[in-house]
Homo-oligomer: A and B are copies of this chain.
Amino acid sequence: MSLPVDIWTERSYISVVNAGRPREFDTEQALDAAMHLFWRQGYEATSMQDLLDNMQLSKSSLYQTFGSKHDLFQQCLDRYRQMMTSGLQQALDNAPSGKQFIEDFFTDWVVDTCNADMRIGCLIMNSATELAPHDEEVGKLIKQGTDRFAKVFQQAIERAQREGDIANDKDPVTLSYFLVSNLSGLNAMAKAGANRKVLKGIAQEIIQSLG
């Protein structure tokens, strides 16, 4: 990150000092557009021009607000992780049981993926494949992301164990990473062109493997 922190954390929103000309675009909305673009196309395949077109702002505004392409990408990763983990956590909190949460998660995932017009997978796992091996900064964010995902699954597993739906001799941490790994596997299989039947089959195996 090369930008002064006060810009991309948007100190200007809290105001202070002397305000100047206001933005003509919605920061959140623009970031969202960028996130979806990276999500669909990946980092390298997304050009600055792509970003400008989809975020609908000028080059100056982009660089001033979000910094370089790489900076912007990291902010997108961050946003994605927050979005996903909060969504997952909420679903778990509202679920009738830990086991049910996990089951629904994977079966819903298959349904959603098959209905979607394009199989874009998970931004974090996509980035793990594309960037993590040679981009240390991104690598850290990726690791944080998978760890957060795993934490939610871990909660679900521990709850399921209390509820008697998963055997107590299973290690919740190991099992949680196993689930994250499987989510990422499903993602890849979907992208590799697996059909609904295959994906459903895999999801059922995952669920069965919980015991």
A residues whose Cβ falls under 8 Å from a Cβ of B: 40-42, 44-45, 118-121, 124-126, 128-130, 132-134, 139-140, 142-143, 145-146, 171, 173-175, 177-178, 180-189, 191-194, 198, 201-202, 204-206, 208-209
Contacts and interface: CB of A to CB of B under 8 A. Distances in A.
A119 B206 CA distance: 25
Given A44-B45, A198-B177, A205-B175, A189 B146 contact: yes
A202 B188 contact: no
Given A132-B193, A183-B185, A208-B209, 14 more contacts: A42-B44, A125-B129, A125-B188, A125-B192, A139-B193, A143-B193, A146-B189, A146-B193, A174-B202, A177-B189, A177-B201, A180-B189, A181-B189, A182-B182
A188 to B, nearest CB: 4
21 contacts: A40-B133, A42-B129, A44-B44, A119-B133, A128-B191, A129-B188, A140-B193, A142-B191, A143-B192, A143-B193, A146-B194, A173-B201, A177-B202, A178-B201, A180-B189, A181-B188, A181-B189, A183-B185, A184-B185, A188-B188, A209-B209
A188 B134 CA distance: 14
**DSSP majority for the A interface?**
helix
B185 A181 contact: yes
A181 B178 contact: no
Contacts of A198: 174, 177
A191 B129 contact: yes
Contacts of A129: 42, 121, 125-126, 129-130, 187-188, 191
A189 B193 contact: no
Given A184-B184, A188-B185, A142 B174 contact: no
